Amino acid sequence: MDLIKNKKGMQMGSIGKWIGVFIGITVLFLVVAELYPEASDAGDDLNESGLPLGSLFVGGGVVFVILAAGILFVVIKRGGF
């Protein structure tokens, strides 16, 4: 994506873009930090209930690894890294 340059040759809008990216990443991590403990406890309870494949949902299970990888991909894609 080409950005418009001002008379001095500096890219316009790049500072605003990075501020938006920083705010977005901060909000995303705050939401995940708030929801992760509750989801982890629910996964532990599900595993203790004897449900088949319940071990996937425990605190360090595959579901949470996939969730963490998804968050990382969103940060990389939105950040333009």
Residue 13 maps to a domain: no
Residue 1 maps to a domain: no
Q: What pTM value is reported for the model?
A: 0.61
Residue 4 maps to a domain: no
Q: List the Cα angle 6/11/12 in 5-degree steps.
A: 70
- Whether residue 11 is predicted with pLDDT greater than 60 in this model: the reply is no
Residue 16 maps to a domain: no
pLDDT tens-digit series, residues 25-81? 888 889 888 988 898 898 899 889 988 888 888 888 888 889 889 888 887 887 665
Residue 5 maps to a domain: no
Residue 56: Cβ-neighbour burial (10 angstroms; 0-12, 13-18, 19+): middle
Could you give the number of structural domains in the chain?
1
